Structure 1
Amino acid sequence: MALPLPPGLTPSEVAFLCEMELVTVIPRQRLEGLELLGGSTPVLQPPHRTTLPLWLALLLKRQRRANIAPPPWLLPTSLTAILEFETEHSKDAFSPPPLLPPTSSTTAPVSPPFLPSSTASAPADALPYHWLEMGNILLEVAPDDFEEPDQVRRLLRDLREVRMAKVRKGVEVLDAGGGVKMNGVGGMEVAEGRAFIGGVIDGLRKIGASREQARKESEAEERENGYAGNASDDDDDMDL
């Protein structure tokens, strides 16, 4: 009998979905396009940049056939500005994500990973949905494509700690019956915080159930004691 799967996506599954994100590559040799299920890829012609899915860009990088251009938000200056916004200008809220492209009645709305939020034309002041896993993957496979990879690692670590502290702090309002505002939270942050937040909610639910049970028992005991007192008073009146 198979064990039940945990609810939601695991961190490894979120990282797998991140590989569908689009990135900008700089080909080092000419390569013909590939016919994939999602369509054909463009022809790679050095030194012209092109956009490819991350999984294919990683394959070409490992084969030394292309370099990967880090998205603008993954540069040290951009990460420093975003970290400053998270720590100084916004104590509770998260930095805003990239704006979604406009939609009309004839076009279907799109969401990650079908957004160019990690290409060379992405905004520099907004973290996309897969920002954490995208940064870690690129730093692991293509550290030579960064000017200062060690500084980028440090900034990503600091940014992750600051944002996870906000997630834990937001859970405190659950005890008062409030909700946690998750606007701008990334996919990996949701996957990592799901167990913590779910455990807190289950604990609060059990505490609330025990309090409700204790209240019902107290009210039942008060009704019984009150009824017995009234009966004894009636007996006293009859004796008189």
Structure 2
Amino acid sequence: PHLAEAFSRACDRILREEEVEFEDRRPGEVLLRVSRALLNMTLEAGSCTMAELEFLAMETIVTIEPKFSHSALRFISGTFGPFEARVNEAVPLWLALTLKKRQRCRILPPAWMRKEALRDILDQEQAEGVFTSIDYYYQEISDALFKSARDDINDADEVQALIEDIANVRQAKIRHGLKDLAKSSLDETTWSVQLTNMSAMELFLIKDLLPEALNNFIDFSRSGAIEAQSAASQAAATPRFADVETSGGVARRLRRFRSSV
């Protein structure tokens, strides 16, 4: 019930933001937008789980090469097909994996899962300090394909190693970013953090840590400002004594007075 209600609210949000009807878009595009909106809502609510991430990733559209011919298949999430043997067709990942388990299709890996593309992404990740653009669910999708359709991936071992290297480099960036955030917060107040091109899994891993860290940084900065203001107020209220030159002049006059007596 919780997931169904969130799904309905995600649909309503897309309709309000885009001001279009579902019939104006392909079912796969609508489902992908709904799943991303649902992820954003669950992240905001702090209730997203790893299972929900995998569930949302299953709505990603992939290409299959069917080994059968059949009329269009109708589901609650949309209509896919018709299918013709050896003619590529776009379907959700969950449907592709179901057909693959029954040996009814071959799954064509996404373009970003090609060995050459992954090498380029890895080089950019290592050369730049920001996150390189990659599929939002790249970890969930690759894990599912390696588990159920490994034989459909060319150079699967090398591709898997490249994806793991990319994930490790991006995780290192997150750790260094949190350290830099802590250092910068000692000198200035940090109100926001840029999360451009971060994946769903990476956001999930920091969704609890980052807001708490920002709140602590803000509280620390405010407490430091209050202490500094209090110290300045105390200094302004403390009476100042005469300077050394004046006191020295008084001492010299006293000595002259004693000598005249």
Q: Give the TM-score taking structure 1 as reference length.
A: 0.70
Q: Which residue of 2 aligns with 1:148?
A: 155
Matched, 1:134 2:173: no
Secondary structure of 2:91's aligned partner: strand
Deviations 1:74-125 (A, max 9, x none): 012211111011112x1x1222x3xxxxxxxxxxxxxxxxxxxxxxxxxxxx
Q: Which whole-Å CA distance do the structure 2 matches of 1:140 and 1:48 have between them?
A: 24
Q: Which residue of 1 aligns with 2:107?
A: 68
Alignment RMSD, CA only?
2.5
Q: Which whole-Å CA distance do the structure 1 matches of 2:49 and 2:236 have between them?
A: 51
Match of 1:93 among 127, 130, 134: 130
More helix, by proportion: 2
**Which residue identity lines up with residue 60 of structure 2 in the other structure?**
E
**Which residue identity lines up with residue 78 of structure 2 in the other structure?**
G
- Structure 1 segments of 4 or more deviating over 4 A? none
Q: Which residue of 2 aligns with 1:183?
A: 196
Relative contact order, higher structure (CA 8 A, sep 6+) = 1
Q: Which residue of 1 aligns with 2:96?
A: 57
Structure 1: unaligned runs, 5 residues or longer: 98-126, 234-240
1:1-240 → structure 2 map (5 Å cutoff): 7=46, 9-88=48-127, 90=128, 92-95=129-132, 97=133, 127-171=134-178, 172-173=180-181, 175=185, 176-178=188-190, 179-222=192-235, 226=238, 229=239
C-alpha displacement of 1:53: 0.6
C-alpha displacement of 1:216: 4.3
Q: Give the TM-score taking structure 2 as reference length.
A: 0.65
CA distance change for structure 1 residues 130 and 31 in 2, over 3 Å: closer, same or farther?
A: same
Secondary structure of 1:204's aligned partner: helix
Deviates more, 1:160-169 or 1:72-81: 160-169
C-alpha displacement of 1:20: 0.7
Q: Which whole-Å CA distance do the structure 2 matches of 1:31 and 1:83 have between them?
A: 40
C-alpha displacement of 1:6: 5.8
Count of aligned pairs: 193
Q: Which whole-Å CA distance do the structure 1 matches of 2:56 and 2:74 have between them?
A: 20
**1:11–1:192 contact (8 Å) kept in structure 2:** no
Deviates more, 1:23-32 or 1:198-207: 198-207
**2:137–2:201 contact (8 Å) kept in structure 1:** yes
Secondary structure of 1:201's aligned partner: helix
C-alpha displacement of 1:38: 3.6
Q: Which whole-Å CA distance do the structure 2 matches of 1:136 and 1:199 have between them?
A: 30
C-alpha displacement of 1:42: 0.5
Deviates more, 1:27-36 or 1:17-26: 27-36
Secondary structure of 1:200's aligned partner: helix
- Give identity over the alignment, percent: 24
C-alpha displacement of 1:159: 0.3
Structure 2: unaligned runs, 5 residues or longer: 1-43, 243-261
